[in-house]
A and B are shown apart, each in its own frame.
Chain A
Amino acid sequence: MNQDVPSMHSAYTKAKMAALYKVACRWSSGTCVFRRPALYSPRNLYSSDSSTPIEGQGETESQQPVAEKPKSGFAVAYELHSDLRQQQQQQDSGPSPSRVSSTTTRDETSFASLLRHSPLVQMGPAKDKIVLGKIFHVVGDDLYIDFGAKFHCVCKRPSTDGDKYQRGTRVRLRLEDLELTSRFLGATTDTTLLEAEAHLLGLAGEAKPKA
């Protein structure tokens, strides 16, 4: 076991450890909480081989290069180990849509990342959520309001301040459903109304009384 340790760590130079520490700091400022224990003590990734389990508190950097040989590819090895660790944690905690693969969770502009941070997903279930919408079409007393989802909603013009609701007006809505669908008897797929459902609460620009 002891013989394995120097050969494992022989790959790392001080510069590489510094780079690792920079990468680790960037990651710790990200979203995944479960990685923090790994960041503080990188050597614990190879926990079965670690003979000197020192908790990384800034001393890991200086103590590591004592038994290390210069070699390239450390970053790849670290990534590989963190992937394995993440897969292990995935199996423990069960699948979740945000952790598709390690590379996409790292890349801030990946689709998974964009989706996870989008307001529609952060909102959760649509029932009884207050959102802001904008009227984009008016037909008599029907107001077609778009609030940022796939479909628009259609609301009746309210009796109070009725003439203020014109095309382009911003309004407040309480959502019921993002898409009105239902499976009827004898049908193979749902029938959809291509509309969302919401209650109109009022205009968005109303001044709130200051406390």
Chain B
Amino acid sequence: MAAGMLTKAICGLRCPRFAAAALSCSSQSYSTAALPKAVLTPSDNTADQNKLLNVPLSHPDFFRVSELFSLKDLFDARVHLGHKKGCRHRLMEPYLFGSRLDTDVIDLEQTVPHLQQALNFTAHVAFRGGIILFVSRYRQFGHLVERTARECGEYAHTRYWQGGLLTNATIQYGPGVRLPDLIIFLSTLNNVFQTHVAIRDAAKMNIPTVGVVDTNCNPSLITYPVPANDDTPAAMELYCRLFKVTINRAKDKRKQLELLKGLGPSTTSS
């Protein structure tokens, strides 16, 4: 299925329609990095493509995302600070270190492996040429999220979420729309402190999600939750930097492997 989707992408349907739709929603126009338009390669190249795609799967941390951050970095960025005890979501209790003077403290010893898994998954999706959508309805960091998406050549949606954006895409945006392969939530709540609709919709459409969940959020439907602070600018800048670096690293690795194996669009198949 992934191979099928990949060939669809190579067909040049790197979804200008979806991109246009997302951009029109946000009423801002910026261009993402254009991928080289690959010619529909003959079938004898598919085996090599599949081998290339399976290369990162051999190693648990192929993209070395665990080297991108340490527990001390998270601590200095105030990732462990949570809301007050009264705002706590019941399902976040396993991720909490404790509560001090009515303020919750998130256990960074748990956050570190969660964040590593999330970054690793993001890297793999980016390596395979998947579309990544950054979603955050936190107004303070809307511009930061959009800038991050532009710098790593992916998409962002930080404005009002139309109800049928994922579930009604074929009717709202026309047939043959390619939906995102990964949605990254840098804040899982909307402006009225309810869970963002996109989490439920992504689960309905079988789209994996990565989400930064604070102590007042519901981590239920998110595929790779990262229990962490989402209110401090220092923490948000850290996440944006980490995701951007991971995605760029994965894409560069893909280009590098393609050149090494001679599978680039400009070279002939071996």
Interface residues of A (CB under 8 A from B): 97, 109-112, 114-115, 118, 120-121, 124-126, 136, 146, 148-151, 178-179, 181, 183, 189-192, 194
- Whether the Cβ atoms of A125 and B87 lie closer than 8 Å is no
- Whether the Cβ atoms of A192 and B84 lie closer than 8 Å is yes
B75 interface residue, CB < 8 Å from A? yes
Q: Which of B72, B83, B101 contacts A125 (CB 8 A)?
A: B101
Please name 10 pairs of A and B residues whose Cβ atoms are closer than 8 Å in the assembled complex, sorted by A: A110-B109, A111-B80, A111-B107, A115-B75, A121-B100, A148-B78, A149-B81, A183-B86, A189-B86, A190-B87
Beyond A111-B80, A150-B81, whether A124 also contacts B87 by CB under 8 A is: no
- Whether the Cβ atoms of B231 and A150 lie closer than 8 Å is yes
Query: What is the interface size of chain B, counting residues whose CB is below 8 A from a CB of the partner?
Result: 28
B97 interface residue, CB < 8 Å from A? yes
Interface residues of B (CB under 8 A from A): 71-72, 75, 78, 80-84, 86-89, 97-98, 100-101, 103, 105, 107-109, 193, 216, 229, 231-233
- Whether the Cβ atoms of B81 and A192 lie closer than 8 Å is no
Least distance between A111 CB and chain B CB atoms (Å): 5
Beyond A150-B229, A178-B103, A181-B83, whether A192 also contacts B78 by CB under 8 A is: no
Supplied contacts A179-B103, A192-B84, 13 more A-B pairs, CB within 8 Å? A97-B100, A111-B71, A115-B75, A115-B97, A146-B233, A148-B78, A149-B81, A150-B78, A150-B83, A181-B87, A183-B86, A189-B88, A189-B89
The residue on A at minimum CB distance from B232 is A150
- Whether the Cβ atoms of B84 and A181 lie closer than 8 Å is yes
The residue on B at minimum CB distance from A178 is B103
Query: Which B residues are in CB contact (< 8 Å) with A191?
Result: 193
- Whether the Cβ atoms of B87 and A114 lie closer than 8 Å is no
The residue on B at minimum CB distance from A146 is B233
Query: Which B residues are in CB contact (< 8 Å) with A120?
Result: 81
Least distance between A185 CB and chain B CB atoms (Å): 14
